[in-house]
Amino acid sequence: MTTVVKGIKLRLYPNQPQINLLWQMFGNDRFVWNHMLAMANQRYKNNPASRFVGEYDMNYLLKPLKKEYPF
């Protein structure tokens, strides 16, 4: 049995408000990534024997982070 993988290539042309919104969202994503990475590094630095906090565990940390940073 063979699997066929297909894809679609497209180009978007956002207007200026959409571009601004995309840059804001990318900045927010970068902030959350760096914040979670810093938390994981600090946890490892404090206790190298502790288990790694995975993706699903980090999802629980997002709710308090959203309250702290409302953007």
What is the predicted pLDDT for the residue at 34?
93
Is 3 among the domain residues? Answer: no
Residues 1-34: tens digit of each pLDDT: 788 989 999 999 999 999 999 999 999 999 999 9
Is 8 among the domain residues? Answer: no
Is 58 among the domain residues? Answer: yes
Give the predicted TM-score (pTM) of the model.
0.68
What is the DSSP track for 2-56? --------------HHHHHHHHHHHHHHHHHHHHHHHHHHHHHHH-TTSPP--HH
The range of the structural domain enclosing residue 33 comes to: 18-68
Is 60 among the domain residues? Answer: yes
What is the predicted pLDDT for the residue at 15?
97
Is 53 among the domain residues? Answer: yes
Report the number of distinct structural domains present in the chain. Answer: 1
Is 52 among the domain residues? Answer: yes
